[in-house]
């Protein structure tokens, strides 16, 4: 309730600021006149003079209150953003990702849940150090931004794991897999050879009414299959009862998508 009041009273621009300032001044004047009449039984000053007196008295306090509310709201938005952002990559974090996708599902939106994992990331950290590892994670984040649409959701959901929620037909998954899993070159020192890393990706279409947790488990199973298949691949989940048809196409491995 308090946040609704703050959102409503927060000035959103020049016109809105003037409107809310005038609105509160009129309300204060009306309350002042009503209280004066209730106590004294009459209004001692002419209406225009009475309004001018109310305005001069209350204007500094109304202006200060509007400024304070605006600053409080801006700080609130900044805190919300910090709480939902992964500081290294600038992406949404795990909690924000799950909240956003659950909202999409509640609204009836259908899509595909994906988990992308940086291959051999521990070896990169052990060989080149955590600073280079951080550069690699930032490069992965940039790759995800490059290959996804603005209305799709991407996030860092673990150490070297990233979550995606895409809304595309199954026919486009192959091209997305190629774009996601092609090698990423990370230059950490101009005098040295760049670090090359790939992504393994598991995908699962979210069924209508299906809990997100279940879809993410299926995507995780597909990710495990991508790792077993040699990494650097996107695998879509297939029901265990169905025959798996796998065929590597460059960095793409496809199991027939299935619901279940």
The position carrying tokens 């209730």 is 38
Q: What is the pLDDT of residues 75-102, one digit of tens each?
A: 766 777 767 899 999 999 999 999 999 9
Is 160 assigned a catalytic role?
Answer: yes
Q: What is the pLDDT of residues 15-33, one digit of tens each?
A: 888 888 888 888 888 888 8
> In 188-206, which positions are buried (b, 16+ CB within 10 angstroms) versus exposed (e)?
beeeeeebebbbbbbbbbb
User: What's the pTM?
Assistant: 0.68
What is the arithmetic mean of pLDDT over 143-170?
Answer: 93
Which of 109, 224, 128, 115 has the alpha carbon at shortest distance from 159? 115
Q: Which of 9-13, 96-100, 141-145, 209-213 has the lowest mean pLDDT?
A: 9-13
Q: Which of 111-125, 155-169, 177-191, 236-250 has the lowest mean pLDDT?
A: 236-250
Q: Can you state the angle between helices 130-147 and 121-128, rounded to 10 degrees?
A: 140
Distance, in Å, from the CA atom of 220 to the CA atom of 235, rounded to the nearest integer, reads 10
* Strand partners of residue 163: 115, 155
> For residue 17, what are the contacts with CB-CB under 8 A and spacing of at least 6?
11, 66
Instruction: For each of the domains in the chain, give its residue range(s) and CATH number, in order of start.
Output: 2-83 (no CATH), 94-253 (3.30.70.270)
Catalytic residue among 160, 172, 210, 221: 160
Distance, in Å, from the CA atom of 162 to the CA atom of 169, rounded to the nearest integer, reads 21
pLDDT of 247 strictly over 70? no
């Amino acid at each position: 309730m308090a946040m609704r009041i703050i959102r409503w009273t927060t000035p959103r621009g020049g016109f809105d600021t003037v409107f809310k300032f005038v609105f509160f001044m009129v309300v204060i004047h009306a309350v002042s006149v009503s209280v004066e009449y209730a106590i004294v039984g009459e209004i001692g000053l002419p209406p225009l003079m009475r309004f001018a007196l109310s305005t001069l008295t209350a204007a500094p306090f109304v202006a200060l209150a509007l400024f304070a509310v605006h600053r409080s709201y801006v700080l609130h938005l900044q805190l919300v953003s910090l709480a939902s952002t992964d500081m290294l990559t600038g992406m949404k974090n795990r909690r924000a990702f799950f909240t956003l996708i659950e909202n999409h599902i509640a609204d009836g939106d259908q899509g595909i849940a994906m988990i992308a994992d940086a291959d051999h990331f521990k070896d990169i950290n052990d060989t080149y150090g955590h600073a280079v590892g951080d550069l690699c994670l930032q490069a992965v984040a940039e790759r995800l931004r490059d290959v996804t649409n603005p209305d799709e959701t991407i996030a860092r959901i673990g150490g070297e794991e990233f979550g995606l929620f895409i809304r595309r037909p199954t026919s486009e998954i192959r091209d997305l897999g190629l774009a996601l899993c092609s090698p990423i070159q990370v230059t950490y020192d101009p005098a040295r050879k760049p670090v090359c890393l790939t992504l393994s990706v598991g995908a699962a279409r979210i069924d209508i009414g299906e809990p997100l947790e279940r879809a993410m488990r299926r995507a995780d199973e597909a990710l495990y299959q991508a790792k077993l298949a040699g990494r650097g691949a996107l695998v879509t989940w297939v029901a265990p009862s169905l025959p798996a048809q796998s065929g590597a196409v460059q960095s793409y491995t496809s199991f027939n998508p299935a619901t279940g």
